[in-house]
Amino acid sequence: MLIQITCLTRRAICLLALGSALLLAGCEEAPRPPTLERVRDDGVLRVVTRNSPTTYFQDINGETGFEYELSKLFAESLGVDLKIEMADSLDDLFDRLNQPDGVALAAAGLVETAGRKDQARFSHSYLEVTPQVVYRDGERRPAQSKDLLDKRIMVVKGSSHAEQLAALKARMPELEYEESDAIEVIDLLRMVDEGVIDLTLVDSNELAMNQVYFPNVRVAYDFGEPARVAWSVAAQDDDSLLDEANKFIDRVKQNGTLQRLKERFYGHVDELGYMGAYTFAQHLQQRLPRYEKHFRKAAEEEQVDWRLMAAIGYQESLWQPEVTSKTGVRGLMMLTQRTAQAMGVANRLDPKQSIHGGAKYFAHVKELLPASIAEPDRTWFALAAYNIGGGHLEDARQLAHKEGLNPDKWLDVKKMLPRLSQKQWYSKTKYGYARGGEPVHFVNNIRRYYDILSWATQPQLEGNQIAEGNLHKPAINKTPPKEQLAPM
Ligand code: BLG
């Protein structure tokens, strides 16, 4: 009600102001309704973003990404559909926002800066990031501004980092750097990784997300104060949509939704640790290309997602065909003797056989799950069954049921699984003791690896086949196609 009154008041003021303007100018244009009203009338929230792992990309289930998921929730809260539009460059993004019939909102990992004041007004912030200077491992680590002299530095044109460097150059005129709108953050990281440029500036969230692709990139030092990432509306827009966006952001902060999204999209480094992230990047370059064709073939035969199979393989063996666990489970997909026999695998150490056996077993355990378990939980349950067996998983489901939880929801059952290793609980189950904590980590890690692989192999990047040694080069061509962009 309050909003309506505010909107109406504002509208009345607008109308009055416009009325006088019309009288003066003799113009006959009708006043524009407030932005929020237009969005509701159209039934669509048009959002401009960039294509990158930190904002918006496609995976096997379609559109995803941090900004996409957050904007979608916002659109749902407004009771309208979401329409994503992709910008070619930052200039293009702000143009689209400021056009008369432009998009309503920019959700693109944008930082509020002084230089953007004329183009946009920003919402409450949903992410705090620190700009960082990055360099190549093995080179001398810069530690302060004067170490930036005589280096080849590149940043994206129009980015907050370009603004920061301009400010530094005003104080330190000898500083040289290049700005380009033909490249994106992910290109810059690749160029540092390959030694094409010496240094660049990135936001901490972008590095955290992309570290898994670039094993040689290291943080030199933090470049200035933490910055606030926020959504923006056109500078001249009324407050109606911005107010609503602010209320939404405050709400998701409070109810934990924002935290869950952050963990999902930015948690890679937290979960893997920086060492794990470099290691993953190395393995992605060096090991996965050897097995990609087997994963693709086996997945096609079993009608499963090859990236999920590759993620299982990474979790099981770090893509090493000859490993053996303490419990005697062996090979790239870690098949037990019994599973191998059942799946017709003669030699568990043969990567091709192991991958085919693993994919077949995964499809088999998934098929056996009760029909009441729907996707995407069905996939997480199947992964847990792959690791702990269907019997123990069923025990955990029973425990969930007894606790009044939902045995068809992974979030509920994963709370019960660790109980299978505590006597007070397993003594009452059908299949008894099991290392119940293991499948919880197993599923968590695989989901993490799967997300990374999904970005690296998204449909629009399918030209970059790993078999050609390019999977780790997600969006990076020397002149990247326009959609392949990262946030600034
Ligand atoms: C799995 C089997 C399941 C089996 C469970 O063990 O192996 N999966 C495969 O062989 C693919 O078939 O279920 S059962 O047949 O219903 O009993 C339970 O026995 C393998 C797991 C075991 C785990 N890795 C695949 O995820 C493993 O090796 N754990 C021990 C790790 S270590 O020794 O502590 O390092």
- Closest Cα to atom 22, ligand 1: which residue? 387
Instruction: At 388, list the tokens.
Output: 């702990």
Side by side, the strands of the sheet bearing 44-49 are 81-86, 44-49, 105-111, 227-234, 120-129
| Spacing, Cα 466 to ligand 1 middle (Å) | 29
| Spacing, Cα 239 to ligand 1 middle (Å) | 57
| Spacing, Cα 381 to ligand 1 middle (Å) | 15
pTM: 0.69
- Closest Cα to atom 16, ligand 1: which residue? 389
Q: What is the pLDDT of residue 278?
A: 80
Helix 390-402 crosses helix 377-388 at what angle (to 10 degrees)? 120
Q: Which atom of ligand 1 is nearest to the CA of 386?
A: 8
Neighbours of 456 (CB within 10 A): 23
Closest CA to 268 of 456, 414, 416: 456
| Spacing, Cα 59 to ligand 1 middle (Å) | 28
Q: What is the pLDDT of residue 60?
A: 62
- Closest Cα to atom 13, ligand 1: which residue? 389
Q: Which atom of ligand 1 is nearest to the CA of 358?
A: 11
Beta strands in 97-222 (DSSP E): 105-111, 120-129, 131-136, 154-156, 178-180, 200-203, 217-222
Mutation test of ligand 1: which of 309, 339, 355, 438 has the most ligand atoms closer than 8 Å to its C-beta?
339
316 catalytic? Reply is: yes
Q: Could you tell me how far CA 197 lies from the centroid of its own chain?
A: 26
**Residues in CB range of 265: below 8 A, 6 or more apart:** 53, 54, 65, 66, 69, 209, 451
Q: How far apart are CA 324 and CA 332, in angstroms?
A: 9
Q: Which atom of ligand 1 is nearest to the CA of 335?
A: 10
Mutation test of ligand 1: which of 325, 329, 330, 333 has the most ligand atoms closer than 8 Å to its C-beta?
329
Q: What is the pLDDT along the chain (488 residues), one digit of tens a residue?
A: 333 333 334 434 444 444 444 444 444 556 778 999 999 999 999 999 998 878 998 766 678 889 999 999 999 999 999 999 999 889 999 999 999 889 999 999 999 998 999 999 999 999 999 999 999 999 999 999 999 999 999 999 999 999 999 999 999 999 999 999 888 888 899 999 999 999 999 999 888 888 888 889 999 999 988 999 999 999 999 999 999 999 999 999 999 999 888 877 776 666 677 677 788 888 988 999 999 999 999 999 999 999 999 999 999 999 999 999 888 899 999 999 999 999 999 999 999 999 999 999 999 999 999 999 999 899 999 999 999 999 999 999 999 999 999 999 999 999 999 999 999 999 999 999 999 999 999 998 898 888 888 877 765 444 333 333 333 333 322 222 222 222 23
Q: Which of 184, 244, 316, 394 is catalytic?
A: 316
**Residues in CB range of 463: below 8 A, 6 or more apart:** none
Which residues does ligand 1 sit against, CB inside 6 Å? 316, 325-327, 329, 334-336, 338-339, 361, 386-391
Sign of the alpha-carbon torsion through 399, 402, 403, 407:
positive
| Spacing, Cα 220 to ligand 1 middle (Å) | 42
Backbone angles phi, psi at 307, to 5 degrees: -70, -30
Q: What is the pLDDT of residue 277?
A: 79
Q: How far apart are CA 443 and CA 125, in angstroms?
A: 31
| Spacing, Cα 153 to ligand 1 middle (Å) | 49
Q: How far apart are CA 213 and CA 59, in angstroms?
A: 17
- Closest Cα to atom 4, ligand 1: which residue? 389
Q: How far apart are CA 147 and CA 186, in angstroms?
A: 23
| Spacing, Cα 339 to ligand 1 middle (Å) | 9
Q: DSSP letters of 313-325?
A: HHHHHSS-TT-B-
Q: Which atom of ligand 1 is nearest to the CA of 434?
A: 18
- Closest Cα to atom 14, ligand 1: which residue? 389
Question: Residue 203: beta bridge partners?
Answer: 131
Ramachandran class of 65: left when φ > 0, alpha when ψ lies in -120 to 50, beta otherwise: left
